Amino acid sequence: MKPFFTRTRLLSLISTAVFFASWQGLAMWLNSPVLPDVIQVAEVLWQAIVSGELPHHLGITLMRLAISFSIAMLLGCAFGIALGRHQALNAFFDQWLVIFLNIPALVTIILCYVWFGLVESAAITAIVINKLPNVIVIIREGTRALDKDLLEMAQIFRFSKFKTLRHVIWPQLHPYVMAATRSGIALIWKIILVVELLGRSDGMGYQLHIFFQLFDVASILAYTIAFVVVIQLIELLLLKPLDRKALRWRR
């Protein structure tokens, strides 16, 4: 068995400690309400957790993330594979893709709220529209890079459409799907807060908006820390194991 404190683990532990120590030092030196020290923030964080406020808002944001992420990935993979496989389809939709890729997130969010009202579905739609073109582009590239030899093999041995998708295409797309997932979660986190700030009365974005108005920097930092921890957990408990499982065949 490997020792718990490997060299890499020790290094990342030290780096975390250095980060918090410099923060603490800077805060003590500045002694300003704009930068509260680590202990203050920890207290606020603890209070927010115990009162149930943070879990409530974080939970709502996470749920929005999960729903919009799933929709965007599902549609994105379907469209991406279709565009990668069919040249005519790609020629037709390429312009649309470029347009949607470059519309500022704020514009889609505002338009969705204006057109559909300040409702949950408008919020989800806005997030999906922002993320979808990204997934499509990544998966399309993956589909274009598919190994033609293996596809021919599948054709010769009469693999059904589903079997080809599952055993020949999907494993080749895996790295692209993981790239879309990682960049997707990061992008959605950023957009989701703006969506909540502009038109929702719960969630992390809404809370941050209130803290901004109250000039409550300690709470902003506490919520940010909660945020970072959740991202780390998703990476550690969800994405890393998925990677390991899918890539076990590699030398």
Partner 1 sequence: MTDFLVQIHNKTYPDKQHPERVHQAIANLEFNVAQHQFVCLVGPSGCGKTTLLNIIAGLDTQFDGQIILPGTKPAKIGYVFQNPRLLPWHTVRENIELACHDGIDARILDDLLETMQLTRVQQSYPEHLSLGMSRRVAIIRAFAINPDILLMDEPFVSLDAPTARQVRQLLMQLWRQRPHTVLFVTHDLREAIALADRIIFLSTPPMHVVRDVQIPLSAEQRLNESPIEQFRQTLLNQYPDIACLL
Interface with partner 1 by CB under 8 A: which residues? Answer: 149-150, 152-153, 155-159, 163, 167-168, 171, 246, 249-251
- Measured from the CB of residue 145, what is the shortest distance to partner 1 in angstroms? 15
- Measured from the CB of residue 179, what is the shortest distance to partner 1 in angstroms? 18
Core vs surface per residue 35-63: b (16+ CB within 10 A) or e:
bbbbebbbebbeebeeeeebeebbebbbe
- Measured from the CB of residue 33, what is the shortest distance to partner 1 in angstroms? 56
Q: Which is nearer to partner 1, 25 or 171 (CB)?
A: 171
Q: Which is nearer to partner 1, 2 or 161 (CB)?
A: 161
Closest CA to 69 of 138, 121, 116, 135: 135
Q: Which is nearer to partner 1, 4 or 249 (CB)?
A: 249
DSSP 179-229: HHHHHHHHHHHHHHHHHHHHH-SSSHHHHHHHHHHHT-HHHHHHHHHHHHH
Q: What are phi and psi of 32, to 5 degrees?
A: -130, 150
- Measured from the CB of residue 159, what is the shortest distance to partner 1 in angstroms? 8
Q: Which is nearer to partner 1, 2 or 251 (CB)?
A: 251
